[in-house]
Structure 1
Amino acid sequence: MKQNHRLPPSPPSLPIIGHLHHLGPLVHQSLHDLSTRYGPLMHIRLGSVSCVVASTPDLAQDLLKANDLTFSYRKHTLAINHVTYGVGFAFAPYGPQKERVNMTEELLKLTNNVISQMMMSIRCSGTDSEADEAKVIVREVTKIFGEFNVSDFIWFCKNIDLQGFKKRYEEIRARYDALLEKIICEKEEMRKREQKGKDGKRKDFLDLLLDVFEDKEAQVNITRNNIKATILDFFVAGTDTTAVTTEWTLAELMNNPHVLEKARQEIDTVVGNKRLVNESDIPNMPYIQAIIKESLRLHPPIPLLIRKSNANINVRGYNIPSGSLLYVNIWSIGRNPQHWESPLEFKPDRFLEIGGSSLDFKGQNFKFLPFGTGRRSCPGVNLAMREAHVVVATLIQCFEWNHVDDKHGSLNMKERGGLTIPRAVDLVCLPSLRPNCPNIFP
């Protein structure tokens, strides 16, 4: 049913141009003249643009004070957009800028900062910092670690670099080594200064490793290469995997808006809009937990669990010789229709139903092994899951999400190869603050 809007008085108009023919070179004078005839509050149409003209102090107060938020934007013309490069502050829309955000890069930066801060007390700065370089190297490491190198499998090719792998991994190693040497040397100099000044600064993980390295009476002796390798282990295990999990989860939520809305309702009920969600809220959010589990089912951080046997064994009547590689396809298991109903659908509710609610990612149920199982399961699962739950819940709580990845309505969910399985294309979004976010952000 069409609504009738009562607009302020208006002069006669013409088709298409509206009231443009009433305006002379001095627009303010033309509007003044019109207001003397049609009143202090007047409606005009400039082409297809609706305009309201106020010409008295009391109307100015009503419109600019009582409705301050409503009229907080400024006029934006083609000239303004061009001359200010489209990003000028003075004419920008009121509120947070709505612009494209590469969530692939931002999530990787976030997880990298968490590990960098824990390990070495450094952070990504957006410039050429050590943490930024570490982030780039880690992604290159996870990519080359998951690629198939013929020289690893055909014995007479062992010393032949058929695919250029040797050149690549030597270059990665050289860059990583130089970076770690720089960081370690800076840390050693800092420790010397602090020791002289008797500074009681809190230690990071690199400090603890150097304590053992420098202790000649330590029960376990470690080398400088041990330190570098340990730090690389933490970066590879704790940076790319967590970022990939969070990115896939966000992508699935944008492809399934009913799931996103249900998650948002749970967060609003448990947390409200007066504060940000925090880690202690997660146990009270079963649906958020189910979303993470469902994302891990469809997109395990490492799709293939690879082991190597050290003895001859017999499994179901088959002999498996010592030295055999074992590939457990966690990705395939999570999509097996014999174990999962509608396996290709993103249905977090399956983890809330009887039989699904008891499934966790600790490796006790072999149809759900996102972090492996047994003595070589991922040691960082608790840290990764604490981080992923809080990050995903915060992104849901604070932002509306729109993607710019695909023109056909759904995100491109193709995968890229490597040790981890990131999306084939970066996740680029147009996030905007939810209406209740002014109550959350100062």
Structure 2
Amino acid sequence: MSETQYYLFLFLSFLSPVLLILFFNNLSKPKSGSRRLPSPPALPLIGHLHLVGGFFHKSLQNLSTQYGSIFYLRLGFYESIVVSSAPVAHEIFKTQDIVFAQHPFPKLCFGDELPYAKCGFFNAPYGDYWRFMKKLCISQLLSPGQLERSRVVREEEFARFVRELLESAKKKEVVNLGAELIKLTNNTLCTMAMSTRCSEEGDKADRIREYLKTTYEIGSKIVLGDVLGPLSRVVLWLYGKQFTELHLGIDGLLEGILKEHEEHIGERENEDLMDILLKVFRDDKAEAKISRIHLKSFLYDIIVGGTGTLAEAIVWLMAELINHPNVFHKLREEIRSVVGSTRLVEESDVANLPYLQAVVKETLRLYPPFPVTTRQCRQSCQLAGFDMPQKTVVFINLYAIMRDPEVWDNPNEFWPERFLVSNKEHKQDRTGGETLLSFGAGRRACPGSRLGLIMMHTAVAAMVQCFDWKFRVDGHSGKVNMEAGKGVFMHLAQPLTCLPVVHFNPFASSI
């Protein structure tokens, strides 16, 4: 039984006269004005929940082929609008960006019991606090100057990553590439933000990896509880204790790192993000007052939000390269022609590697980290000619938009060359809106996209430059199964286990 079917069963098992009254009070009518939005036929109480499978983005994509680029959907008690085209998305992200500058906050039935219940950055309401924290993030952690100053951190982590792979290759050890990349991305982000390598060997590493794994596994199940409306307490019975313990564990880990910083505040030559946040926390005249919980929640969002999604994006790319050896060798030749055969590829080389950039763009087009993003309109407005009442929730299906056959030639094919074609030859440039939306767009776009791209380009280039990759599953080689796993972000259903074979050792001269 799938997760959706399980929740559907629970939902139907707890029917009551109260729910029937709600139903007959026109619960299933779309909240639109004089012009009615298209919508699939709904069932009593559950609405359209029966039309949604384990792969939410694909279910919405299939429905859009029948009901158009914008339609109404009710999942149990959760009413929404679904957008699946670039022009309508352009209205949301650009034309009416300020109107849709809010994420709908998940109505977790036990949210008040969580340490970071309403203090997060990514889902914070649009307002003074959110604007201040975004400015802090962009100016202190992700500004061009700060990214340049923190480049030494990334170079050290990438060198350590390559050395460990070289050691595995020497021992002929098969590696779980996803696990190694989570370790790389987590150590890099933690060192940049808190001067701490959270995925080193030992107890702290085990704890952070377990926290990340559990967060990704149960996060989507918790959010799915919204559809149960008054019966969402069922989610508390099933996952509340586990999710609360998870947050308390993460809070304890961050609190320990925070206390270490407080003991040595002002001693570091180069301040990290935690140092800067501590200064704001202690400043009574700061632009926005933040609490200790705000501080830890902000770091949690950055580290947890960036670690897994970035690692999985690189895994998708490597899987496609293994399945397309012609692309792999073309990319390696470009790296060799620019970098040479005496040193490891560096961040500064990426600007001169257009095919590498095309490969990354094509991967993010096919496998956006979050295939569906959300917005909520802050005031009544019109969208694509339909009236949108205030607080209307909108699902923007980035996956469908970036695989739209009206926009992209052979949309499901991995073909990086499409991004090397002249703009005049691209159909997507004639749609009237941006179509490569892997990180969203507008005010609520992912603020870490620049850093994510830097790390993705460099990691992939290093792995192609230094190794051949022999895919292994059950001890046998072959093509990678590109089936996606269930969840709110895109990840391979099966681990990418490979045998690295040394092609070039950039450290050979120093050994």
After TM superposition, is the score higher than 0.5? yes
Of 229, 233, 236, the match for 1:159: 233
- Structure-2 separation of matches of 1:417 and 1:137: 19
Which position in structure 2 is the counterpart of 1:26? none
Which position in structure 2 is the counterpart of 1:29? none
2:435 equivalent to 1:367: yes
2:308 equivalent to 1:258: no
Q: CA deviation at 1:334?
A: 1.8
1:322-337 to 2 correspondences below 5 Å: 322-337=390-405
Gaps of 5+ in 1: 1-92
Q: CA deviation at 1:375?
A: 0.6
Q: Label 1:436 to 1:233 Cα distance change in 2 as closer, same or farther (>3 A).
A: closer
Of 84, 106, 109, the match for 2:180: 106
Which position in structure 1 is the counterpart of 2:492? 423
Which position in structure 1 is the counterpart of 2:46? none
- Percent identical pairs in the alignment equals 36
1:21-52, Cα deviation, whole Å (9 max, x unpaired): xxxxxxxxxxxxxxxxxxxxxxxxxxxxxxxx
Q: Label 1:113 to 1:285 Cα distance change in 2 as closer, same or farther (>3 A).
A: same
Which position in structure 1 is the counterpart of 2:372? 304
Which position in structure 2 is the counterpart of 1:351? 419
Q: CA deviation at 1:94?
A: 13
Which position in structure 2 is the counterpart of 1:394? 462
1:121-270 to 2 correspondences below 5 Å: 121-123=195-197, 124-129=199-204, 132-147=206-221, 149-161=223-235, 164-191=238-265, 199-270=267-338
Which position in structure 1 is the counterpart of 2:65? none
Instruction: Say if 2:362 and 2:419, in contact at 8 Å, map to a contact too.
Output: yes
Q: Label 1:357 to 1:218 Cα distance change in 2 as closer, same or farther (>3 A).
A: farther
Q: CA deviation at 1:395?
A: 0.4
- Structure-1 separation of matches of 2:332 and 2:324: 13
AA aligned opposite 2:420 = L
**SS of the residue aligned with 1:401?**
strand
Q: CA deviation at 1:318?
A: 2.5
AA aligned opposite 1:236 = V
- Structure-2 separation of matches of 1:417 and 1:308: 25
RMSD: 2.7
2:478 equivalent to 1:409: yes
Which position in structure 1 is the counterpart of 2:76? none
Which moves more between the two structures, 106-115 or 214-223?
214-223
Q: CA deviation at 1:293?
A: 0.4
1:280-319 to 2 correspondences below 5 Å: 280-319=348-387
AA aligned opposite 1:392 = V
AA aligned opposite 1:340 = W
Q: Label 1:259 to 1:315 Cα distance change in 2 as closer, same or farther (>3 A).
A: same
Q: Label 1:150 to 1:249 Cα distance change in 2 as closer, same or farther (>3 A).
A: closer
**SS of the residue aligned with 2:170?**
coil
- Structure-2 separation of matches of 1:104 and 1:357: 36
2:176 equivalent to 1:118: no
Q: Label 1:320 to 1:264 Cα distance change in 2 as closer, same or farther (>3 A).
A: same
AA aligned opposite 1:246 = I
1:22-101 to 2 correspondences below 5 Å: 96-101=170-175
Q: Label 1:329 to 1:441 Cα distance change in 2 as closer, same or farther (>3 A).
A: farther
Q: CA deviation at 1:132?
A: 4.7
1:222-272, Cα deviation, whole Å (9 max, x unpaired): 100111110011113321121111111111100100000000110111111
Q: Label 1:267 to 1:410 Cα distance change in 2 as closer, same or farther (>3 A).
A: same
- Structure-2 separation of matches of 1:190 and 1:136: 29
- Structure-2 separation of matches of 1:313 and 1:329: 20
- Structure-1 separation of matches of 2:324 and 2:458: 20
**SS of the residue aligned with 1:373?**
coil
Q: Label 1:248 to 1:187 Cα distance change in 2 as closer, same or farther (>3 A).
A: same
Q: CA deviation at 1:200?
A: 4.8
- Structure-2 separation of matches of 1:351 and 1:109: 30
AA aligned opposite 2:292 = R
Instruction: Say if 1:294 and 1:348, in contact at 8 Å, map to a contact too.
Output: yes
**SS of the residue aligned with 2:235?**
coil
> Normalised by the size of structure 1, how large is the TM-score?
0.71
Instruction: Say if 1:143 and 1:417, in contact at 8 Å, map to a contact too.
Output: no
Which moves more between the two structures, 314-323 or 374-383?
314-323
AA aligned opposite 1:206 = M
- Structure-2 separation of matches of 1:118 and 1:216: 26
- Structure-2 separation of matches of 1:405 and 1:351: 32
- Structure-1 separation of matches of 2:225 and 2:283: 40
Q: Label 1:334 to 1:229 Cα distance change in 2 as closer, same or farther (>3 A).
A: same
Q: CA deviation at 1:356?
A: 8.3
- Structure-2 separation of matches of 1:435 and 1:414: 31
- Structure-1 separation of matches of 2:246 and 2:466: 38
1:350-399, Cα deviation, whole Å (9 max, x unpaired): 10012389999xxx953210000111011111111011001100100000
Q: CA deviation at 1:345?
A: 1.4
- Structure-1 separation of matches of 2:285 and 2:250: 29
**SS of the residue aligned with 1:424?**
coil
Relative contact order higher in (CA < 8 Å, ≥ 6 apart): 2
- Structure-1 separation of matches of 2:452 and 2:200: 22
> Normalised by the size of structure 2, how large is the TM-score?
0.62
Instruction: Say if 2:212 and 2:304, in contact at 8 Å, map to a contact too.
Output: yes
Which moves more between the two structures, 93-102 or 389-398?
93-102
Which moves more between the two structures, 171-180 or 371-380?
171-180
Instruction: Say if 1:150 and 1:162, in contact at 8 Å, map to a contact too.
Output: no
Q: Label 1:292 to 1:436 Cα distance change in 2 as closer, same or farther (>3 A).
A: same
Q: Label 1:174 to 1:435 Cα distance change in 2 as closer, same or farther (>3 A).
A: closer
Which moves more between the two structures, 161-170 or 411-420?
161-170
Instruction: Say if 1:138 and 1:235, in contact at 8 Å, map to a contact too.
Output: no
Q: CA deviation at 1:171?
A: 2.0
